[in-house]
């Protein structure tokens, strides 16, 4: 059976005077005396003498002051929360309904609880230091405020060096963006990141330390916390956890400390848990949790925090990078391979000659399968990827070796295909060659995507076999072979168009692979900026003809499509355009048409047809017809 | 300071470049040249005159003066599409008002009446809508802005046969209309010459008795398409009877039919949904730069539906001005007539227009259909 206190002192503020009457008229047999908080603080001794139970309603600082007095005068406390004190309701598991809250506040069975004092100030929910975006946001803040506040913190997101001390005399040197003292997991987003073995009765304070290696890693952490409905079995990366009766926090510089969302003090901070400090009437669930809580020992889990070498790196780096660094293991796997790829050797030279020869013959045969075979055989992709890393890391040796290997490869390819062309008595221009003479911005897009794929595949051993697909997609050797054929034919336009396609692929891959390695964390920044600038200038220069070709192709496609809605009446003969396509021979624009006609077309008809086309389309078109007869 | 100088140079350069494109403004000479308009402004064909005039006024806003600064004054007369009245008004405009040229939006019959006396008045007449081939025959002063019915009928027959792959049709015509009967005959002759079968030839007049009986008899011969070079009013009559039989043959009309249906029979437009027609323009067709400017100007002033009559009005005015500008005396009727008849590749609303020495225009024809209460472009025929 529930027992209620026989008498209680009700401490109110101006906002909570309306509760005096309901309390005094309670049907639980409790006699209520009321006092205003201001009056009480003027002479606490006088008002609290002989008082065994205090009921309080008011702002958080008033409740905290009553808790402080309770420690001194040993009375139990009942709290009547206002509707707006959602955090308090959740924390103490209090009823939202005012009459239920009154009923709970007047009970006699208060729960013994710890209190945490930080630099002498009472902390109920949390104390935040430094920058822990989204986790340290005030409970009352709106979503927009949380977002803006967190974004502002991300702008100056950095690591501070911290020294943490515990009651067990442990001293931990590390770097962190910020940390947060928690008393209990209820009502705290940050507490989702740690195991829920801390309670209000274990005589411990919990410290969550955030040390993300990058903003991306931190966002991933937040996402994990948001999606997690159950507790984490182990601490997420970038998070450290200390549980101790006493925690000392001393960062390198003085940082402000926000206790329960209010600016309260600054570092150095000393927090201690006062075990069994007060008796508070809490909700049923919290009572069950507290009674089942076991006494615990000091706990330190800091394996995810920067130590020693990493701490030194963090001290140097200051700002938290946007992308994470690649792990040492990945570095060690990749670099020897890239260095090897950049070195010139006989295998490369032989493969380069063979792949170009194969591509050239395949182009003359107009055989897609032979050309694809040449793409797979071509070894050109490897030094290009090495060159990207050389640019990123500012590694001169890697850079020079790769450049030398690429240039030599290009020369060999041009020479091989030009020689084969000179040797061939018959030099037809095949469709496979034509397909490589009109590079557009879309080819640049293919090269960029392929460069990303190449760098990504190269970075992970598990997917290295995907490089074959990348080689086919970007097709480096066939355009070079076509350019060589252009040299063999002494056709500069031929050479220029094909070499433009090759250059597009080359520049696209270099740039995208460089940035992919950057994103994958192989360097904090692009070191060889001058090299990158040169590649960018090439990119811009190449983009101009690519753009012009692209817009010409778009214009041609629109023009071709519009012809499907054109009909001609020529000398009483009705001509239906079934299909029209535009091709270019140098600067000459040719329209190839498939037309349906009932009668055969005479020379006179064709002349009249041509005249009509030229009269109605301002562009000078060369017309080629393929006629199908309607029987 | 240095930046300021650079900025100033850049601004001056930009303005200089902008200035390069501007033509010098024409200074008005104070002289006025009169251009007559003969069109039906009342009666069942009133939209031809009213919309045509709107088009001319729109074009006039784009080009208010000739290149020598002479101003154009439009003098409009309502002939109610009555041939006798048309001839009277021609005389009035030439003798009394002393116009230098005339644009007419009248239909074939009134224009053919003018054709008989055109040489007597020696004044250039630009026929915007009269498609009958005889409009330009036996006279040296009437030129067509539109294609003629020989072209239109031939194209319609070939389109039906070769594009729609239809070989059985019924042809409807109004024997009281020279336009209708000639176009129907042209279609029929061409269609038969390419192996098509004309199952029925229906003469349609106001007095045509039991139309449902006629349609029933046509139905029995199972034509796949109706060729209907008839008025919008007659078309509605025919279609109503056809729908009564729960029959949906394809239908094809001639120039102006869709415009008239949209302008005057919009409440019955669902009846003819899917109907095809040969025409001058179509909604949503790609416009030439001139067409875009003219359309923009038209929309500034008028919110009503844009019709082909207005578009022809714009083109007619522009061609006339082009001819006048090529004359040393822009009011010289003989010169204007000669220049109209040597218009070559003039950029119209949707394409180029050429008017030959015989007064016949070569211009693209469009094949449109009514879909969802709007005209939709299908093909363009050159």
pLDDT single digits (tens) A10-30: 999 998 988 888 888 888 888
- Of the segments A450-464, B4-18, B169-183, which one has the largest average pLDDT value? B169-183
From chain B, the residues in CB contact with A630 under 8 A are 162
B150-283+367-381: CATH class: alpha beta
Provide the chain B residues 155-174 that lie in CB contact (below 8 A) with chain A.
Answer: 155, 158-159, 162-163
According to DSSP, residue B267 is labeled: G
According to DSSP, residue B41 is labeled: -
Torsion, Cα of B325, B329, B330, B334 (10° steps) = -110
Which one has a higher pLDDT value, B209 or A266?
Answer: A266
Distance CA A100, CA A85 (A): 15
Task: Identify which of B162, B286, B381 has the shortest CB distance to residue A568.
Answer: B381
Contact between A157 and A217 under an 8 Å Cβ cutoff? The reply is no
3-state SS, residue B294: helix
**Predicted confidence (pLDDT) per residue in A217-273, tens digit:** 888 888 877 766 555 567 777 888 898 999 999 998 899 999 988 888 998 999 999
Torsion, Cα of A480, A486, A492, A496 (10° steps) = -20
Distance CA A568, CA A625 (A): 13
Block residue for tokens 């693209």: B364
A467 pLDDT above the threshold of 90: no
Q: At what angle do helices A441-459 and A492-519 cross, to 10 degrees?
A: 40
Q: Give the mean pLDDT of chain A.
A: 84
Provide the chain B residues 235-294 that lie in CB contact (below 8 A) with chain A.
Answer: 286
User: What does the block give as tokens for A88?
Assistant: 């308090």
Task: Identify which of A572, A596, A613 has the shortest CB distance to residue B154.
Answer: A572
User: What does the block give as tokens for B134?
Assistant: 């005889």
Q: Number of CB pairs < 8 Å for A and B?
A: 48
- Give the CA angle between residues B285, B46, B130 to the nearest 5°: 65
A60 pLDDT above the threshold of 80: yes
Q: What is the pLDDT at residue A187?
A: 58
Residue of chain A minimizing CA distance to B190 = A572
For the segment A369-373, the average pLDDT, to the nearest whole number, is 88
Q: Which residues contact A585 (CB under 8 A, 6 or more apart)?
A: none
Residue B376 sits at the chain A interface (C-beta within 8 Å): no
pLDDT band at A164 (very low <50, low <70, confident <90, very high): very high
The answer to which of A516-530, B34-48, B147-161 has the lowest mean pLDDT is A516-530
Residue A566 sits at the chain B interface (C-beta within 8 Å): yes
Give how far Cα A6 sits from Cα of A26, A51, A95, Å.
11, 11, 22
Q: What is the pLDDT at residue B24?
A: 53
Distance CA A371, CA A432 (A): 9
Residue B351 sits at the chain A interface (C-beta within 8 Å): yes
Beta-carbon separation of A574 and B158 below 8 A: yes
A197 pLDDT above the threshold of 70: no
Task: Identify which of B194, B351, B380 has the shortest CB distance to residue A565.
Answer: B380
Contact between A67 and A278 under an 8 Å Cβ cutoff? The reply is yes
A137 pLDDT above the threshold of 60: yes
For the segment B161-177, the average pLDDT, to the nearest whole number, is 90
Minimum distance, in Å, between the CA of residue A155 and any CA atom of chain B: 33
The answer for A90, left when phi > 0, alpha when psi is -120 to 50, beta otherwise, is alpha
From chain A, the residues in CB contact with B362 under 8 A are 615
Give how far Cα B162 sits from Cα of A565, B158, B316, Å.
14, 6, 33
**Predicted confidence (pLDDT) per residue in A314-336, tens digit:** 666 567 777 666 666 667 777 88
For the segment A441-457, the average pLDDT, to the nearest whole number, is 86
Q: Is the pTM of this model over 0.80?
A: no
Distance CA B136, CA B150 (A): 13
According to DSSP, residue B266 is labeled: G
Q: Which among A569, A578, A631 is the top mutation candidate for probing chain B, defined by the most B β-carbons within 10 Å of its own β-carbon? A: A569
Residue A387: beta bridge partners? none
Distance CA B359, CA B336 (A): 12
- Percentage of residues of chain B with pLDDT beyond 90: 32
Residue B354 sits at the chain A interface (C-beta within 8 Å): yes
Distance CA A447, CA A516 (A): 13
Torsion, Cα of B235, B240, B246, B250 (10° steps) = 10
Torsion, Cα of A202, A203, A208, A209 (10° steps) = -140
Distance CA B382, CA B369 (A): 18
Strand ranges of the sheet holding A205-210, from the earlier edge strand across to the other edge: A262-266, A256-259, A126-130, A178-182, A205-210, A239-244, A299-301
From chain B, the residues in CB contact with A613 under 8 A are 382
Q: What is the pLDDT at residue A253?
A: 87
Block residue for tokens 């069942």: B44
Q: Which among A615, A619, A629, A630 is the top mutation candidate for probing chain B, defined by the most B β-carbons within 10 Å of its own β-carbon? A: A615
Minimum distance, in Å, between the CA of residue A583 and any CA atom of chain B: 23
- Of the segments A56-60, A515-519, A613-617, B231-235, which one has the largest average pLDDT value? A56-60
According to DSSP, residue A318 is labeled: -
Which one has a higher pLDDT value, B231 or B303?
Answer: B231
Q: Which residues contact B269 (CB under 8 A, 6 or more apart)?
A: B261, B262, B370, B373
Q: What is the pLDDT at residue A317?
A: 59
Q: Which among A568, A574, A577, A623 is the top mutation candidate for probing chain B, defined by the most B β-carbons within 10 Å of its own β-carbon? A: A574
Cis check: omega of the bond before A389, within 30 degrees of 0: no
The answer to which of A79-93, A312-326, A398-412, B337-351 has the lowest mean pLDDT is A312-326
Minimum distance, in Å, between the CA of residue B122 and any CA atom of chain A: 30
pLDDT band at B19 (very low <50, low <70, confident <90, very high): very low
Q: What is the DSSP string of B219-263?
A: HHT--SEEEE-S-HHHHHHHHHHHHHTT---EEEE-TTHHHHHHH
Q: Which among A555, A565, A575 is the top mutation candidate for probing chain B, defined by the most B β-carbons within 10 Å of its own β-carbon? A: A565
Task: Identify which of B154, B155, B351 has the shortest CB distance to residue A616.
Answer: B351
Q: What is the pLDDT at residue B1?
A: 45
Minimum distance, in Å, between the CA of residue A588 and any CA atom of chain B: 23
Task: Identify which of A565, A569, A616 has the shortest CB distance to residue B352.
Answer: A616
Beta-carbon separation of A567 and B159 below 8 A: yes
Beta-carbon separation of A615 and B345 below 8 A: yes
From chain B, the residues in CB contact with A612 under 8 A are 382
User: Chain centroid to CA A9: how far?
Assistant: 55
Contact between B105 and B309 under an 8 Å Cβ cutoff? The reply is yes
> What are the φ/ψ torsions at residue B76 (nearest 5 degrees)?
-100, 140
E strand or H helix that includes residue A543: helix A529-563
The counts of H helices and E strands in chain A are 22, 21
- Percentage of residues of chain A with pLDDT beyond 90: 19
Distance CA A11, CA B218 (A): 102
Q: What is the pLDDT at residue B17?
A: 45
pLDDT band at A517 (very low <50, low <70, confident <90, very high): confident
Give how far Cα A377 sits from Cα of A295, A401, A544, Å.
68, 21, 31
Q: What is the pLDDT at residue B380?
A: 87
- Give the CA angle between residues B372, B377, B382 to the nearest 5°: 160
Q: What is the pLDDT at residue A179?
A: 92
Contact between B305 and B263 under an 8 Å Cβ cutoff? The reply is yes
Contact between A412 and A353 under an 8 Å Cβ cutoff? The reply is yes
Residue B193 sits at the chain A interface (C-beta within 8 Å): no
User: What does the block give as tokens for A587?
Assistant: 């600067």
Q: What is the pLDDT at residue B15?
A: 46
Q: What is the pLDDT at residue B318?
A: 93
Q: Where in chain B is the domain with CATH 3.40.50.2300?
A: 32-146+287-363, 150-283+367-381
Beta-carbon separation of A568 and B382 below 8 A: yes
Contact between A342 and A386 under an 8 Å Cβ cutoff? The reply is yes
Q: What is the pLDDT at residue B18?
A: 45
pLDDT band at B6 (very low <50, low <70, confident <90, very high): low
B157 pLDDT above the threshold of 90: yes
B32-146+287-363: CATH class: alpha beta
3-state SS, residue A110: coil
3-state SS, residue A126: strand
Distance CA B237, CA B235 (A): 5
Beta-carbon separation of B382 and A596 below 8 A: no
Q: What is the pLDDT at residue A332?
A: 74
E strand or H helix that includes residue A292: helix A284-292
A406 pLDDT above the threshold of 80: yes
B317 pLDDT above the threshold of 90: yes
Minimum distance, in Å, between the CA of residue A574 and any CA atom of chain B: 6
Q: Please return the burial class of A118, using the count of CB atoms within 10 Å of its CB with bins 0-12, 13-18 and 19+.
A: buried
Q: What is the DSSP string of A34-98?
A: EEEHHHHHHSHHHHHTT--EEEEES-HHHHHHHHHHHHHH--EEEE---TT-HHHHHHHT--SSH
Torsion, Cα of B371, B373, B376, B381 (10° steps) = 100
Q: Is the ipTM of this complex over 0.95?
A: no
Beta-carbon separation of B380 and A566 below 8 A: yes
Closest CA to A181 of A221, A145, A234, A136: A136
3-state SS, residue A259: strand
Residue A581: beta bridge partners? A592
Task: State the pairing for strand pair A566-570/A573-585.
Answer: antiparallel
Q: What is the pLDDT at residue B125?
A: 93
Q: At what angle do helices A368-377 and A346-365 cross, to 10 degrees?
A: 170
Dihedral of alpha carbons A404, A407, A411, A417, sign: positive
Beta-carbon separation of A569 and B381 below 8 A: yes
């Amino acid at each position: 059976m529930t027992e209620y206190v026989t008498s209680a002192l009700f401490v109110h503020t101006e906002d909570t005077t309306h509760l005096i009457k309901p309390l005094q008229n309670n049907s639980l047999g409790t006699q209520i005396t009321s006092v205003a908080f201001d009056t009480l603080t003027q002479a606490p001794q006088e008002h609290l003498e002989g008082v065994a139970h205090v009921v309080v309603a008011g702002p958080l600082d008033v409740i905290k002051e009553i808790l402080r007095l309770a420690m001194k005068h040993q009375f139990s406390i009942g709290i009547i929360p206002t509707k707006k004190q959602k955090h308090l309701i959740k924390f103490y598991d209090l009823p939202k309904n005012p009459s239920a809250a009154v009923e709970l506040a007047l009970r006699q069975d208060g729960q013994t609880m710890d209190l945490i004092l930080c630099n002498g100030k009472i902390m109920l929910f949390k104390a935040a230091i430094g920058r822990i975006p989204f986790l340290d946001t005030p409970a009352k803040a709106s979503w927009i405020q949380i977002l803006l506040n967190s974004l502002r913190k991300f702008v100056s997101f950095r690591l501070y060096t911290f020294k943490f001390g515990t009651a067990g005399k442990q001293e931990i040197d590390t770097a962190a963006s910020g940390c947060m003292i928690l008393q209990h997991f209820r009502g705290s987003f940050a507490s989702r990141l740690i195991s829920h073995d801390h309670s209000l009765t274990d005589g411990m304070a919990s410290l969550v330390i955030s040390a993300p290696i990058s903003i991306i890693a931190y966002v991933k952490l937040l996402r994990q916390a948001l999606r997690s409905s159950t507790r984490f079995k182990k601490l997420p990366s970038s998070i450290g956890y200390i549980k101790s009766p006493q925690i000392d926090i001393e960062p390198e510089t003085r940082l402000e400390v926000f206790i329960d969302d209010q600016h309260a003090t600054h570092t150095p901070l000393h927090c201690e848990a006062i075990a069994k400090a007060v008796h508070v009437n809490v909700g049923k669930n919290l009572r069950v949790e507290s009674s089942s809580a076991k006494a615990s020992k000091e706990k330190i889990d800091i394996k995810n925090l920067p130590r020693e070498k990493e701490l030194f790196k963090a001290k140097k780096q200051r700002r938290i990078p946007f992308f994470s660094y690649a792990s040492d293991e990945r570095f060690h796997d990749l670099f020897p391979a890239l260095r090897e790829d950049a070195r010139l050797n006989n295998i490369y030279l032989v493969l380069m000659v063979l792949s170009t020869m194969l591509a050239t013959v395949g182009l003359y045969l107009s055989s897609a399968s032979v050309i694809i075979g040449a793409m797979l055989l071509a070894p050109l992709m490897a030094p290009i990827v090495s060159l990207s890393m050389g640019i990123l890391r500012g590694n001169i040796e890697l850079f020079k070796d790769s450049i030398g290997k690429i240039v030599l490869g290009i020369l060999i390819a041009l020479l091989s295909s030009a020689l084969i062309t000179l040797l061939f008595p018959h030099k037809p221009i095949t469709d496979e060659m034509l397909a490589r003479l009109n590079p557009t911005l879309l080819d640049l897009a293919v090269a960029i995507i392929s460069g990303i794929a190449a760098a990504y595949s190269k970075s992970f051993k598990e997917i290295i076999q995907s490089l074959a697909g990348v080689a086919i997609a970007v097709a480096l050797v066939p355009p070079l072979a076509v350019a060589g054929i252009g040299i063999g034919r002494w056709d500069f336009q031929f050479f220029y168009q094909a070499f433009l396609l090759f250059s597009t692929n080359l520049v696209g891959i270099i740039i995208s692979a460089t940035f992919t390695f950057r994103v994958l964390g192989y360097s904090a920044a692009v070191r060889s900026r001058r090299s990158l600038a040169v590649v960018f200038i090439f990119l811009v220069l190449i983009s101009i003809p690519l753009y012009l070709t692209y817009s010409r192709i778009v214009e041609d496609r629109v023009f071709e499509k519009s012809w499907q809605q054109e009909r001609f009446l020529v000398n009483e003969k009705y001509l239906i355009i079934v299909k029209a396509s535009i091709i270019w021979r140098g600067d000459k624009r040719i329209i190839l048409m498939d037309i349906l006609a009932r009668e055969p077309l005479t020379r006179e008809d064709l002349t009249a047809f041509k005249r009509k086309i030229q009269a109605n389309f301002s562009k000078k078109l060369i017309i080629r017809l393929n006629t199908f007869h309607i029987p | 300071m240095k930046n300021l100088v650079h900025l100033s140079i850049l601004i001056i350069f930009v303005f200089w470049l902008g200035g390069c494109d501007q033509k010098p403004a024409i200074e008005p000479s104070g002289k006025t040249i009169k251009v007559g308009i003969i069109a039906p402004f009342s009666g069942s064909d009133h939209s031809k005159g009213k919309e045509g005039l709107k088009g001319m006024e729109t074009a006039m806003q784009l080009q208010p003066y000739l290149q020598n600064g002479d101003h154009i004054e439009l003098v409009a007369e309502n002939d109610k599409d009555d041939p006798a009245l048309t001839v009277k008004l021609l005389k009035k405009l030439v003798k009394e008002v002393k116009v230098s040229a005339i644009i007419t939006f009248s239909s074939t019959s009134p224009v053919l009446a003018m054709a008989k006396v055109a040489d007597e008045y020696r004044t250039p007449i630009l026929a915007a809508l009269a498609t009958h081939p005889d409009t330009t025959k036996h006279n040296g002063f009437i030129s067509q802005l539109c294609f003629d019915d020989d072209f239109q009928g031939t194209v319609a027959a070939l389109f039906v046969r070769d594009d729609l792959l239809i070989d059985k049709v019924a042809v409807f015509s109004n024997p009281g209309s020279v336009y209708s009967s000639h176009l129907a005959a042209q279609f029929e002759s061409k269609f038969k010459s390419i192996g098509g079968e004309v199952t029925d030839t229906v003469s349609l007049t106001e007095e045509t008795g039991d139309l449902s009986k006629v349609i029933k008899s046509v139905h029995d011969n199972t034509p796949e398409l109706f060729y209907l070079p008839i008025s919008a009013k007659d078309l509605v009559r025919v279609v109503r009877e056809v729908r009564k039989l729960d029959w949906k043959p394809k239908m094809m009309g001639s120039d102006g039919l869709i415009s008239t249906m949209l302008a005057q029979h919009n409440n019955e437009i669902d009846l003819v949904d899917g109907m095809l027609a040969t025409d001058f323009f179509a909604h949503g067709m790609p416009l030439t730069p001139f067409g875009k400017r003219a359309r923009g100007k038209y929309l500034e002033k008028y919110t009503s539906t844009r019709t082909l009559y207005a578009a022809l009005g714009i083109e007619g005015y522009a061609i006339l001005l082009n001819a006048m500008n090529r004359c040393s005396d822009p009011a010289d009727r003989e010169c204007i007539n000669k220049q109209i008849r040597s218009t070559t590749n003039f950029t119209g609303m949707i394409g180029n227009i050429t008017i030959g020495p015989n007064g016949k225009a070569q211009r693209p024809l469009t094949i449109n259909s009514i879909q969802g209460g709007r005209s939709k472009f299908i093909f363009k025929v050159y």
